[in-house]
Amino acid sequence: MPFYYGSDLKEGILVEVINDFTTETGISVGPLLTWRDRVFAQPGLKTDSFDDLKGGICLRRWFVYSDRLEERIGSQLVRHDAYNTQQMLQMFLRNRCDYIVMNEMEFRFLAQLGSIDPDRYRTELIDAEWPVYLGILKTETALIEAAEVFFTTYKIDVEAMLPGLQRPGL
């Protein structure tokens, strides 16, 4: 959610970075970010191993999770499905489950909106992560070169950007 949101998807971290890139280069294209799904735990249940996960876990319905997590569902973990991130986070914060797997920035953003300290729930367990490329086509040499030059010096400080984002119309 904090990456882009709003009725016309005109707000969020990606929008800010794309605007900076467009201003600097005159070319509209998005950056490379890392999507990271992290395991968050109720206080007192933090762990650094998937083997230690036991209890209830809130997950998005129809989402696919890592094999190391999926193989524990039904034996060590009881799955509680949610239809969206807000519902999943509400279930977790109301102690309906012990763990939640969620995009790290979405969790931090939604926690911030509720005046909740996200670090209280953070574990070191990463369920999945992958790079996200937006709008760069391999055949567009000038675009690739401009993006490479821009992003060698442009640093995306997501933590600094979160407090300045507009509140979404949930």
From the DSSP assignment, how many helices (H) and strands (E) are in the chain?
6, 5
Which domains does the chain possess?
13-31+134-164 (no CATH), 34-130 (3.40.190.10)
Q: In the structure encoding, which two tokens stand for residue 150, read together?
A: 């821009």
pTM of the model: 0.66
pLDDT of residue 41: 96
Q: pLDDT digits over 36-95, tens only?
A: 899 999 999 988 899 999 999 999 988 888 888 999 999 999 999 999 888 999 999 999
Q: pLDDT digits over 86-132, tens only?
A: 899 999 999 999 999 998 888 988 888 888 999 999 999 998 877 66
Q: pLDDT digits over 30-39, tens only?
A: 545 677 899 9
